[in-house]
Amino acid sequence: MRIIARRTLRVFWEANRDAEQPLKAWFREAQAAQWGSPHDVKAQYRSASIVGGNRIVFNVAGNKYRLVVKFDFAHRIAYIRFVGTHADYDLIDIEAT
């Protein structure tokens, strides 16, 4: 997969050092993945939540943080839409993110 906006992850882990290694691990795994559908992602990340609009929510750093990614499976692109705490996640409109 091609990941768009790695910078978003980097900015977040620079402010939240405990998220750095888990986000880097997710990035490496996603980059190497050949996901063709949300179900392919779910097969690898059982705790991920498919929320519609080809958006998937990942739990990061032992479920301390949330990562929202919008996928274009046909073109093998993953767009980082949000990364933050659970409290921050509760404030966003997941459909608009």
Predicted local confidence at residue 4, as pLDDT: 97
SS3 62: coil
What range defines the domain where residue 68 resides? 2-90
SS3 54: coil
Instruction: State the Cα–Cα distance between residues 79 and 36, nearest whole angstrom.
Output: 15
- For residue 8, the tally of other CB atoms under 10 A from its CB is 17
75 domain residue, yes or no: yes
97 domain residue, yes or no: no
Q: Domain count of the chain? A: 1
55 domain residue, yes or no: yes
Cβ pair 82, 67 in contact under 8 A? yes
Predicted local confidence at residue 95, as pLDDT: 79
Residue type, 20: E
Q: What is the residue whose two structure tokens read 């739990």?
A: 59
pTM: 0.94
Predicted local confidence at residue 94, as pLDDT: 84
60 domain residue, yes or no: yes
One digit per residue, pLDDT tens: the chain, 97 residues?
A: 999 999 999 999 999 999 999 999 999 999 999 999 999 999 999 999 999 889 999 999 999 999 999 999 999 999 999 999 999 999 998 877 7
6 domain residue, yes or no: yes
